[in-house]
Each structure stands twice: as structure tokens, then as C-alpha cells.
Amino acid sequence: MRAVLGFSWKLGKWAGAAVVVAYIAVCTVMYVMQRSLVFPKLAGHVTAVEAGFPEAQEVALHTSDGERLVAWYVPPKSDKPLFIYFHGNGDTLNWRVGRDRKLVADGSGLLAVSYRGYEGSTGSPSEDGMHLDAAAAYAFAADHQIGPDRIVLWGQSLGTGVAVWLAVERKIKALVLESPYTSVADVAAMNYPLLPVRWLLKDQFHSDWLISKVTAPVLVFHGAKDETVPISFGQRLYNLVKAPKCFVRFPLGGHDDLDDVKIVASIRGFIARSWRGSAEPAGDGCQRASLAS
């Protein structure tokens, strides 16, 4: 009996050690491979014309650290706004052509940025690098004599973190956040509850630390059935906004399927309003606005 107990104890010890080794191995692999998960490699370069967006011209943005970015540019007409668009992590410029064409149909401008490491752009993506990409996009607008009172930043999913950062660093007319998160760290912790992702994650995109510093009006869109970034993340971020704000909920919307027509119409109405100060509430109940999708 004593020999059996001794063997069982040793077997349990070996099993425990194996579990620990396996756990460490998983953490190591996740740490090494994390950027391929956060910034997946996508299809090759597609021009605006090839994508069916002849209104746009392909331009090159040059970052302060020497990278060359592909961007699609539609100059704004007259006093129309310029939308600087930052896409999601698994997105490409040509996936939003239908909405882009609706957006520029009234003479509004668009500058859609392909991050470093994404289609046609040089470099490798990272949070710090994407901040430099955002700054290069803003500099491009300034070089084309488009003032801050005409610049609207629009971020989708991962791009909301880029847009929030730029909204803190530069003056803008408004900030649009589509399917936003509090931080990538929070979303990763939800998806990998057994891993110490908050210690391992290099690119955390803490919009929750920055959003209260944004003084421009903020418009948030989120789908109630979003399983990638649940709407609770968007609501938590929205609650931290101190500037004039509006939250639009799509009851049937997921992560990438919100109604383009309703989004464009809502944005036009939002940025056309006369905001008297950063402390002014939305005033018309838009925090409770809800759109079917």
C-alpha cells in the first residue's frame, strides 16, 4: 500500500509539472505570436479603381519613422468635412467601398488609411506605429489646407483605439467610433480568461484611459449582437466620455454588419449640429437612440 501511495504521489507530481510546463508553453506561444493574431496578414494590394471606387485617388502617406502608407483620398468639396477613416484589424480598404461611396456622395471628403504592414503599406503594425500612421494622415490633411474644424475621425473596431488617440493629440470637428472597446486588453481577457493577457499583451490600446480627454463631440455606434466586441464594452467607453456625445444602438447588428445608410445619415446629422461647449449634454435623447439593423 505504501508503494502504491508513493507511486500515486509521484504520478500526481509529474502530472502537475506537465500542466505547468504546458501552460507556460501556451503563454510563450501566445506572447511570440500575438501580433499575428491582433494584426492578421490579409490579401494583397488592391487599388481604388480595381475595387470599384473611381472617385478616390491612391496617395502615399509618409510617417515620421520612414514608413510609406497607402491611402485612398477623395478631396472634400467647398466647406464639406474630411473623414479620416481607420479600419479594423481584419479589414482592408476595399471592404468598405459601398459605404465610402455613400459617404462622399454629398461632396464630403475621405482619407482611408492602410496601416503599416497592411495592404500596400510598408513596415510592421504595432500600437505605437499606428499612432504614427494616424499622425501622418492628419498631417496630410493639414498639408491640403483642411482645417481642424472640418476633420472628422472615424474608427471601426481596432481603429477606434487609433482614432481616440489622435482625437486627444489633435484638434478635430468630431469623433465617430464604430464597435469600440475600452481596451484591446479587456477584449483579449474576455477571449482568453485563463491566460495572463494583461501582462503578455504588447499593444493594449487603452481607449478607456484617453477618452475623457477628448473635447470634440463623440458619436458611438454598436450592435447589440456583436460577439467580437460586445456592446457592453462600447457602453462602458461611452460612459467615460465627457464631451457632447451620442450612443446609437443597433438591436440586430453584429460587429461588421451595421446598416451603412443609417450610419451615414446619423453621422451627417450629428456633425451638422451646433455644439456650444464640451460640457453640453446631447440634449435630444440620442444617448438612447436605437436603430434597427
Q: How confident is the model at residue 191, as a pLDDT?
A: 76
- Indicate if 222 belongs to the active site: no
Residue 56 contacts residue 9 (beta carbons within 8 Å): no
- Indicate if 157 belongs to the active site: yes
- Indicate if 36 belongs to the active site: no
Quote the domain boundaries for residue 4: 1-38
164 with 71, same domain: the answer is yes
25 with 74, same domain: the answer is no
Catalytic residue of the set 87, 226, 266, 293: 226
Catalytic residue of the set 255, 259, 266, 293: 255
The number of distinct structural domains making up the chain is 2
Cα-based distances in Å from 190 to 23, 114, 181: 18, 28, 12
136 with 277, same domain: the answer is yes
Q: Is 59 helix (H, G, I), strand (E, B) or coil?
A: strand
Q: Closest by alpha carbon to 115, among 96, 89, 141?
A: 89
Q: pLDDT exceeding 90 applies to what percent of the chain?
A: 65
How confident is the prediction along the chain (293 residues), in pLDDT tens digits per residue? 555 545 455 555 656 676 666 666 655 656 666 566 767 766 678 889 999 999 999 999 999 999 999 999 999 998 999 999 999 988 889 888 999 999 999 999 999 999 999 989 999 999 999 999 999 999 999 999 999 999 999 999 999 999 999 999 999 999 999 999 999 999 988 877 777 777 777 889 999 999 999 999 999 999 999 999 999 999 999 999 999 999 999 999 999 899 888 999 999 999 988 655 444 444 444 544 555 54
219 with 93, same domain: the answer is yes
Quote helix, strand, coil % in the chain, to nearest 5. Answer: 40, 15, 40
10 with 138, same domain: the answer is no
Tell me how far apart the alpha carbons of residues 10 and 89 are, in angstroms, rounded to a whole number: 47
Q: How confident is the model at residue 170, as a pLDDT?
A: 98
The CATH number of the domain holding residue 258 is: 3.40.50.1820
8 with 56, same domain: the answer is no
Catalytic residue of the set 108, 121, 157, 266: 157
What is the bridge-based pairing of β-strands 68-74 and 57-62? Answer: antiparallel
263 with 122, same domain: the answer is yes
